[in-house]
Amino acid sequence: MSNSIPELEGLRVTVDDVKFMPQLQASEDRPFPFVYFITIHNDSEETVTIKGRKWVVTDAGGETIVVEGDGVVGKFPRLEPGEHFSYNSYHTIGSDSVAEGAYIGVTADATPVLVRIPRFEMKSPGAGA
């Protein structure tokens, strides 16, 4: 994540829930799917359009997977002051993992802004049992 893009005061992200969902498709090397519920809140004075995202998922062994892409779940939400955008998606893991990242947006005058995604944990079933 580029440190040259400033964070916009009042633009914030909440991780509303994280759930293990074994019925979802997963690969053999990462067999544990977790659905996460996210809300992007625009409590700033600016209109912001989210243009992209970057996730960093790190597992218990220190292996890191970086996921970058345009938009959020195929959309480019435009948030007026006071509005929010909620969605859910999922990651698959092979061992206990943590996820964090950021969304990149632009204000109405095309100024790039960044909002961080708070770090959250995904614990593989049976871990610590």
Domain boundaries, the chain: 11-122
Place of tokens 């440190």: 3
The pair phi, psi for residue 47, each rounded to 5°, is -80, 130
State yes or no: pLDDT of 2 exceeds 80.
Answer: no
Sign of CA dihedral 86, 56, 36, 72: positive
11-122 CATH fold: Immunoglobulin-like (2.60.40)
Mean pLDDT of the chain: 94
Q: Using CA atoms, how far apart are residues 70 and 4, in angstroms rounded to an integer?
A: 19
3-state class (DSSP) for residue 73:
coil
The average pLDDT across 43-65 equals 96
The average pLDDT across 67-93 equals 96
pLDDT tens-digit map of 11-53: 999 999 999 999 999 999 999 999 999 999 999 999 999 999 9
Is residue 122 within 8 A of residue 18, CB to CB? The reply is yes
State yes or no: pLDDT of 128 exceeds 60.
Answer: no
